[in-house]
Amino acid sequence: MDDLDLNALARIEGMLKARGWSLPELSRRSGISLSTLRSSRKRGSRLCLSSLKCICGAFGITLSEFVAELEKGE
């Protein structure tokens, strides 16, 4: 796992906290199974692009906006 992957997971965590959402809430809003989200969080595993796009949709941003924020942090 590279820095970009870790930054993406950290960004998702930050967005959850900013909105006061739990992981089950993100699961409900994104349509991604809770087990997939938990696995990614616990093991730091990568999310596939389609899952990341669903997560961005749940947060009301585009994938491009998400990636642009990651690039700013590098």
Give the per-residue pLDDT at 2: 57
Residue 30's closest CA among 62, 52, 63?
52
Which domains are assigned to the chain? 3-73 (1.10.260.40)
Give the per-residue pLDDT at 19: 97
CA angle 70, 33, 23 (to 5 degrees): 60
Q: What is the pLDDT of residues 10-67, one digit of tens each?
A: 899 999 999 999 999 999 999 999 999 998 888 777 888 999 999 999 999 999 999 9
Q: Which residue has the higher pLDDT, 71 or 25?
A: 25
Provide the whole-model pTM. Answer: 0.87
Would you give the distance in Å from CA 27 to the centre of its chain?
11
